[in-house]
Amino acid sequence: MADYHAPVRDILFTLDTISDVSSITELPAFADVDAEMIEPLVTEAARFYEEVIAPTNVIGDLEGAKFEDGTVTMPKAFEGAWAKLRDAGWSSVAGSAAFGGGGFPKVVGQAMSEMMASSNMAFSLCNMLTDSAIALLERHGTDELRDIYLENLITGEWTGTMVLTEPEAGSDVGALKTKAEPVGDGTYLLSGSKIFITWGDHDLADNVIHLVLARAPGGPPGTRGISLFLVPKFLVDDDGKPAERNGVETVSIEHKLGIHASPTCVLSFNEATGYLIGEEHRGMNYMFTMMNHSRLGVGLEGLGIAERAYQGAAAYAKERIQGRTPDAAESDTIIGHADVRRMLLTMKAYTEAMRGLLYDATAAEDRMHAETDEAKRAAAEARLALLTPIAKAWATDRGVDVASLGVQVHGGMGFIEETGAAQHYRDIRITPIYEGTNGIQAIDLVMRKLPLDNGAVIEGYLDEIDATAKELSGKSTELDDISVALSRATASARQATAILLMAEDPQLRLAGATSYLDGLGTVAGGYYLARQAAAAHDASPADEWLQAKITTARFYAANLLPDARGKFEAAVAGPDLLYAVADEYIG
Amino acid sequence: MADYHAPVRDILFTLDTISDVSSITELPAFADVDAEMIEPLVTEAARFYEEVIAPTNVIGDLEGAKFEDGTVTMPKAFEGAWAKLRDAGWSSVAGSAAFGGGGFPKVVGQAMSEMMASSNMAFSLCNMLTDSAIALLERHGTDELRDIYLENLITGEWTGTMVLTEPEAGSDVGALKTKAEPVGDGTYLLSGSKIFITWGDHDLADNVIHLVLARAPGGPPGTRGISLFLVPKFLVDDDGKPAERNGVETVSIEHKLGIHASPTCVLSFNEATGYLIGEEHRGMNYMFTMMNHSRLGVGLEGLGIAERAYQGAAAYAKERIQGRTPDAAESDTIIGHADVRRMLLTMKAYTEAMRGLLYDATAAEDRMHAETDEAKRAAAEARLALLTPIAKAWATDRGVDVASLGVQVHGGMGFIEETGAAQHYRDIRITPIYEGTNGIQAIDLVMRKLPLDNGAVIEGYLDEIDATAKELSGKSTELDDISVALSRATASARQATAILLMAEDPQLRLAGATSYLDGLGTVAGGYYLARQAAAAHDASPADEWLQAKITTARFYAANLLPDARGKFEAAVAGPDLLYAVADEYIG
């Protein structure tokens, strides 16, 4: 098991070249922070994640969450890690200063989240869900609820969950059935079964605060009749302490492929006392405001695991001696073999491309809130809307590929659990599934995001890529290679985009959705690496680290970007063949 | 968990249209069998695998192989299954009749192996390794050794293993160090450590017969100084019964990502008595004669798991109700959604394409031995040589993809172990690794197989594909679509092939090896589906099952075959960029 070394320089380089973070911190909303504070912040946090959290990853997986007599017990190594994380405050650097956060842009918080996901993805989910609960409570909770719950959630005394899914309501949230009956004193009694509740129960904190979607009487069917409730595991007494057990029972936890140290619970609500968040029947609206952020958070897990799988594979390849390269007299470390190097550079290129995509999307999230000019805010909102499904799906799909390459680089040892490569491969497999499957992301992209502003948003993004290709052209033969490949790929993207935009039959878009997203993500990845190559070219030619950025972009352009064209061809193949085979002959 | 339904009609159709099995059974070597016996044979065997073996898959995985006090204990469900399998004789239908086998062509045996792998891959390995041990003993063992060991291996009283790998000798077998000291009475004493020994110890049989690679004194270093020995777990007494324990100790078993019910052992040989197989220093030659067959066997595991994952996903998609298709008033089963259907058809198309490739390669193996004409034998041998690395690597890589799609179709349930989708994903991940990693296969393809007959073998194969494309042209608009796509893909394949063949620097071939194999496998897959479509077109148009073959080939041509071009572009990108980044900046 290789140690985790936080890629501090990569993160800072991406914050600079892709997010243009100093232009964000200059906005009035961030008057209290300064771009120069970011480097020491990331550097210091890196040490914490490397030293405190990363060592809990393998032992957490081996021990796993355990369920007995209605109670969930967490791995011993997690004792204290949770409190240390909240105490250190790294998880709240982007939180609002009014509630004890650091007041930094979200894209800086993203750097923390990336390191957290690399360090221990299973553990990171507790933090992620607690942060989501905090955000919902901050924005939509009554003063009374905020007084009682917010501080304990922020300090990590208590943790939060998001309770949406039911056995018959997964991708289709609107099908949920859990009921909330008003008692008459402003509270409700919730009854129903919920599944897939991440960190739904555990023994690391004194209380678990569930944010639950349920149906109050009088609402329409579907998503417009759903309300949001706060339901604590223990009711809180007048002193603000956990007291009587509420009517929420942990029925079981799931036996899963990965993230064994993240307890995935079946919860049964039996007339559990709940407190309304915001207004009745508007629960899904509140959830939607969280959605882009949560989806980027899952994309970030793809990046985080990819980064760690890449580091593990590279460390192994530098150490493992096996076979000879052509003309060599002696056996070599396997990093010397062309095919192993191809795998490592593929892992590197995808990981850095994902980082660019995610850090661009989150910068848009910051600008959407903080830009002073309304047109800029609207443009940032549209950009975030476009990039979110691509970032979530492409980063997680490529993350799975990178983790699989990590297993492959290890050869036979990759299949043995002790190297850790297999754990990454298992853990990351949930990311294309939860927070909206990647199929749902693709549908969102072609049905809701392509038509934004009559296609002007996607076209503007492709224009931007072409402009970068043009900018690279003529600067050097190295950058020319990238430029040509990027222009070609963008041309394919434009063709497919035009066909999907013109399609009158929604089934044409739906049939091509995943292939289109895949192709567009591949082009976007090339774009972010190209921008980093351009920045590296303009900086010191003596800096080998920067030169490696140019080589990585060239490698991607020559070896991975060509995959886009095939995807765009498939994207416009249409739905007819899908339905030409009767169900009977499938399976 | 869906039941397994052996795809009997698919298997028979492939044996007919791709392997042309009746032309094989007509050869004098198969005088005792008849093509008409194949259908009842496969049908009857299918029942056995479905009813007896397939139900052991999940429980075997849950219980796993256990190691305690130097002993390996197998899952209870396996008790009896091993004996039933050998008694039924399905695993030896292609065995030589002289030794109790059925005397059928290997390609018919392959049908059995496919069903075995689908039923329980972990369990199937015991059979596969025992068969390899039998084959080596049959061909190269002395009469005395055959008398003592062969019958018990064939009847399943005892099982066999292949003992090659050592901690420092994996892909580079020539680096192995285990020593064999001659005692003087014709026997040897073996000492050394061996790892990754599949089914190296267990409690299902009374003896385990190891076939071990080791160094006898006087041989050159590397692979030419390696000898092959038979080393029984228990020495056999004069009555042919297992007696005294030999000096082979089971040190541990591995904790693995998948195939939990296949014990992967670390074995320690401490002056264990061994019997020479064949001549000293020729052990690797004997192993090489097994190699093509073993590699196709692993490719077949890719197919077997893909088939079962596909069946499981299709069954789930027909049952799970979630979300509405456009214009639908009610929620639908998810098989109605375009994106889910795309996943299922992708699984179907890849699985059938793999089957074609594997059944073609094994037919070549049959012809290589059985054709009466020397030129035909040589042509078959060359074809097998070319197809083996493609079949092993492409079928296992696509098998992993199909198993991953199987998880995805299940949504959140796919990540939960109880659906079985996750087990397929874990189990299949070893197949791109063992029996020569897929990187090793790619190197074999570009370094040894492309140059065969100065490139005439690969060019002949591409000519054959073009001929099929031509044959399809003009028959119907459906077949035209396939024809055009196949011609285009073959043209890309020719370009890349020519560049790699002309390359003087071996590093150019090595750098492009994996991408080239990937592209070529994709084209080959399209070719076999196209041949099946042509056969379906020529048969009854009223047969919907046959019409689905044409649609599947069209789906592949429109959605998956376009991926080949990007791979061929990457295949010729060259090695320079791989080495332009210093090791220091990797990881």
Q: What is the pLDDT of residues A429-447, one digit of tens each?
A: 999 999 999 999 999 999 9
Nearest-CA distance A172 → chain B (Å): 5
CB contacts, 8 Å: B341 with chain A: 578-579, 586
Q: Over 80: is that where the pLDDT of B2 sits?
A: no
CB contacts, 8 Å: A338 with chain B: 507, 510-511, 513, 575, 578
Mean pLDDT of chain B: 96
Instruction: Return the closest-CA partner of residue B283 out of B190, B185, B156, B202.
Output: B190
CB contacts, 8 Å: B221 with chain A: none
Q: In chain B, pLDDT over 70 holds for what percent of residues? A: 100
Nearest CA in chain A to B442: A339
Q: What pLDDT is attached to residue B11?
A: 98
Residue type, B354: M
Q: What pLDDT is attached to residue B91?
A: 83
Q: Region B370-396: what's the mean pLDDT?
A: 98
CB contacts, 8 Å: B414 with chain A: 433
Q: What is the DSSP secondary-structure string of B516-561?
A: HHHHHHHHHHHHHHHHHHHHHHHS-TT-HHHHHHHHHHHHHHHHTT
CB contacts, 8 Å: B565 with chain A: 562, 565-566
B511 vs A340: CB contact, 8 Å cut-off? no
**d(C-alpha A481, C-alpha A559), whole Å:** 12
The residue with tokens 């031509």 is: B470
Domain ranges of chain B: 8-140, 160-281, 437-587
Q: What pLDDT is attached to residue B144?
A: 96
Q: What is the pLDDT of residues A23-44, one digit of tens each?
A: 999 999 999 999 999 999 999 9
Mutation site, B168, B256, B266, B339, interface A, largest A CB count within 10 A: B339
Q: What pLDDT is attached to residue B95?
A: 86
**d(C-alpha A154, C-alpha A101), whole Å:** 8
Mutation site, A173, A308, A408, A427, interface B, largest B CB count within 10 A: A408
* Residue B89: count of CB within 10 angstroms of its CB: 18
Mean pLDDT of chain A: 96
Phi, psi angle pair for B488, to nearest 5° = -60, -45
Nearest-CA distance A241 → chain B (Å): 35
Task: Determine whether B586 is exposed, middle or buried from the number of CB atoms within 10 Å of its CB (0-12, 13-18, 19+).
Answer: buried
Reply yes or no on domain A159-284 having CATH 2.40.37.10: no
User: Which positions of A are catalytic?
Assistant: 435
Mutation site, A341, A427, A444, interface B, largest B CB count within 10 A: A341
Q: What is the pLDDT of residues B129-170, one digit of tens each?
A: 999 999 999 999 999 999 999 999 988 899 999 999 999 999
Q: What pLDDT is attached to residue B321?
A: 94
Nearest-CA distance A378 → chain B (Å): 30
A337 vs B510: CB contact, 8 Å cut-off? yes
- Predicted-assembly ipTM surpassing the 0.95 threshold: yes
Q: What pLDDT is attached to residue A1?
A: 60
Cβ-nearest to A412 among B170, B258, B425:
B170
The residue with tokens 């994207």 is: A571
Nearest CA in chain B to A485: B569
Mutation site, B578, B579, B584, interface A, largest A CB count within 10 A: B578
Instruction: Return the closest-CA partner of residue B171 out of A55, A207, A414.
Output: A414
Q: Region B522-549: what's the mean pLDDT?
A: 95
Q: Over 80: is that where the pLDDT of B309 sits?
A: yes
Contacts of B461 (CB under 8 A, 6+ apart): B383, B386
User: Which of 2.40.110.20, 3.40.50.720, 2.60.40.10, 3.40.50.2300 would CATH assign to domain B160-281?
Assistant: 2.40.110.20
Cβ-nearest to B315 among A417, A506, A587:
A587
Nearest-CA distance A22 → chain B (Å): 27
SS3 string, A151-201, reads HHHHHCCEEEEEECCECCECCCHHHCCCEEEECCCCEEEEEEEEEEEECCC
- Confirm if B123 and B262 have CB atoms less than 8 A apart: yes
Return the CATH fold of A8-140. Butyryl-Coa Dehydrogenase, subunit A; domain 1 (1.10.540)
- Classify A562 as helix, strand or coil: coil
CA-to-CA separations, A508 to A289, A572, B441, B536, in angstroms, rounded: 29, 7, 39, 27
Across the A/B interface, how many CB contacts are shorter than 8 Å?
267
Cβ-nearest to A442 among B258, B339, B569:
B339
CB contacts, 8 Å: B311 with chain A: 587
Q: For chain A, which residues score pLDDT lower than 50?
A: none
B256 vs A430: CB contact, 8 Å cut-off? no
Report strand pairing: A207-214 vs A158-163.
parallel
Q: What is the pLDDT of residues A455-484, one digit of tens each?
A: 999 999 999 999 999 999 999 999 999 999
A175 vs B322: CB contact, 8 Å cut-off? yes
B82: region left, alpha or beta (phi > 0 left; psi from -120 to 50 alpha): alpha
CB contacts, 8 Å: A314 with chain B: 586-587
Max alpha carbon distance in chain A (Å)?
Answer: 85
